[in-house]
Amino acid sequence: MIQLFHVWKHYAKRPALSDITLQVEKGEFVLLMGPSGAGKTTLLKLLFCAERADDGQILIQGKNVARIKPSGVPYLRRTMGFVFQDFRLLQKKTVFDNVALPLLVQGLSSFDIRRKASEALKAVGLEHRKESRPAMLSAGEQQRACIARAIVNSPLILLADEPTGNMDPDLAADIMDLFKTINARGTTLVIATHNRQVVEQVNRRVVTLAEGRLASDVGARQ
């Protein structure tokens, strides 16, 4: 599903990622760990084609992303969902409209938009808040709305960057349960997190980066 071969990424001549080789199979749930500055966000950005690798190869669903033209990137992204910290909800739109936006952009019929957006809101337990503005929601509800927006397309791959950042432990556990449910439906997940409690709870493969290198890759406890 996701394959990296000797991938390098530099910022101002300093390597943010050094020689990363990694494979993620369809349906896997991978936690990406490592200290601040280790390269987690950079790796997710490469997978989402928000940045390009300087060297090496990245295949997503068998496609070499370096060969995808800028005009083709939106098509690849339709098969992916992402929950990034700097990608917030639009404050002037309702929760429903925020979640429906990716579908609107694709030109789906209003019937399909309504059906899919409602399904995604139901999956995250936010149907009752669909007419609210984001500012009226708690931090956890806003995060769930972001997740609903990320899964509204039924993505094959879901990427999330610190989705439980600034959350209390109970809320973080709820969000991770939600990711587990999404994974159980067949979506491949790659989630960057600092949260050790989350890692214990989820008990899935943990890939650790340190100073841009792959430091360890450990499967789930049996």
Ligand X SMILES: Nc1ncnc2c1ncn2[C@@H]1O[C@H](COP(=O)(O)OP(=O)(O)OP(=O)(O)O)[C@@H](O)[C@H]1O
Q: Tell me, by CB under 6 A, how many residues bind ligand X.
A: 11
Kindly state whether residue 41 participates in binding Mg ion, applying the rule CB under 5 A. yes
Using CB under 6 A, which residues numbered 5 to 34 contact ligand X?
Answer: 11-12, 16, 34
Near ligand X in 53-82, by CB under 6 A: none
Give the type of residue at 101.
L
* Per-residue tokens: 190: 């790659």
Question: Which residue from 20, 22, 38, 152 is in contact with ligand X, where contact means CB under 6 A?
Answer: 38
In this structure, are residues 123 and 180 in contact, taking their beta carbons and an 8 Å threshold? no
Distance CA 208, CA 213 (A): 8
- Using DSSP, state whether 63 is helix, strand or coil: strand
Distance CA 52, CA 58 (A): 9
Q: How far from each other are the two terminal CA atoms of the chain, in whole angstroms?
A: 24
Nearest to 84 by CA among 132, 61, 50: 50
Q: Examine residue 40 and tell whether it contacts ligand X (CB under 6 A).
A: yes
Q: Does 41 bind ligand X (CB under 6 A)?
A: yes
Nearer to ligand X, 98 or 143 (CB): 143
Which one, 83 or 152, has the nearer CB to Mg ion? 83
Q: Is 36 in the site for ligand X (CB under 6 A)?
A: yes
Binding region for ligand X (CB under 6 A) out of 23-31, 36-44, 103-111, 132-140: 36-44
Residue 43 and residue 137: Cα distance in Å, rounded?
30
Positions touching ligand X (CB under 6 A) are 11-12, 16, 34, 36-42
Positions touching Mg ion (CB under 5 A) are 40-41
